[in-house]
Amino acid sequence: MFVIVDKSNDSIHQEPTRPSWKGGNYKSEGAAKAGITRTIKFYEKAVADVERVLAEGEKDYTSRMYNSYRDATDPDLGRTHKAERDNYRVMSLEEYRLIEPMITKTGTSPYNGETITRTLSINTPSYMDPLCESHYTR
């Protein structure tokens, strides 16, 4: 199995056009490289769509792909690297598990108010974080 790794923070990249239930694993290196190509084309399409809307004299936020456009172009969001091919690399899943970043946070549990420290993978969904209220409501 192979994964696409985002070089900006070493997290597993999830294609914007791929359903979340499919995950970020690919059966071959070629399939993962094709995923990078699909991602770049998706953001290029978003930029082109917003430019088309602006050329028609409408506001940029009326574009159907405005949020994706902002992901690729707005420096305030800190995600402008998403539209750059050099930001991604393909790794085998076993190789990635050796370098996967872990994040340690200390905070107050919304469940009982106690201070807790937890260490989770950078790829852990937010609802699995014990410092997140939705962790206790699922």
Instruction: Provide CB contacts within 8 A for 100, sequence distance 6+.
Output: 10, 121, 122, 123
pLDDT in tens, 19-51: 877 878 899 999 999 999 999 999 999 999 999
Q: 57 pLDDT band (50/70/90 cuts)?
A: very high
Average pLDDT in the 99-116 region? 86
Q: 128 pLDDT band (50/70/90 cuts)?
A: confident
Is 0.85 surpassed by the pTM of this model?
A: no
Does 107 or 111 have the greater pLDDT score? 107
pLDDT in tens, 75-104: 887 777 777 888 899 999 999 999 989 989
In order of 9, 17, 70, 133, the CA distances from 78 in angstroms are 12, 20, 10, 25
Measured CA to CA, the distance from residue 29 to residue 8 in angstroms comes to 20
Do the beta carbons of residue 85 and residue 109 sit within 8 Å? no
